Amino acid sequence: MKTVNDFKIINEVAVLDGVAFAEEAKVVDEFLRDNIKIEYVSVISKDKRYFELKNSKLILTKEQKFINPYYLCEDKALNDLKPYNKKDLLLESSSLEELQQRIKHLENSKIKLIEMLEALLVVLKNN
């Protein structure tokens, strides 16, 4: 059975390798609650499958790492979501490249907002 002491930080990712039991989700959940400044986590089974913590359960995933659901979002994340000014939003005078940049900006903003909302929901559900 793994413990919170078995986690290793590798390239700013908390890694727990060699997970064998579903009960170890409690260990992962405890570690992540206590380490809210760690953004990315990787949980690997003995047979090299990857797992993600969702609703306090380890769920099989194809992704090698996932975002800590308890990660404390810093103010810089909100600063990255600055909207374009009104002049930039006028579509008539925009080139295709400018439109593509705006679409990419909006997609990135949406992803960041969803991640922050999911983290907030997890915190609210567990309190």
Do residues 7 and 16 touch, judged by C-beta distance below 8 A? yes
Say whether pLDDT at 62 is over 70: yes
pLDDT in tens, 68-108: 888 876 555 455 555 555 555 555 555 777 777 778 888 88
Please, which pLDDT band fits residue 42 given cuts at 50, 70 and 90?
Answer: very high
State the CB neighbour count (10 A cutoff) for residue 47. 8
Residue ranges covered by each domain of the chain: 1-72, 73-127
- Amino acid found at 30: E
For residue 69, the model assigns a pLDDT of 86
- Amino acid found at 7: F
Query: How far is the C-alpha of 65 from the C-alpha of 98, rounded, in Å?
Result: 33
Secondary element (H or E) of residue 79? helix 75-79
What is the pTM assigned to this prediction?
0.56
Secondary element (H or E) of residue 58? strand 57-61
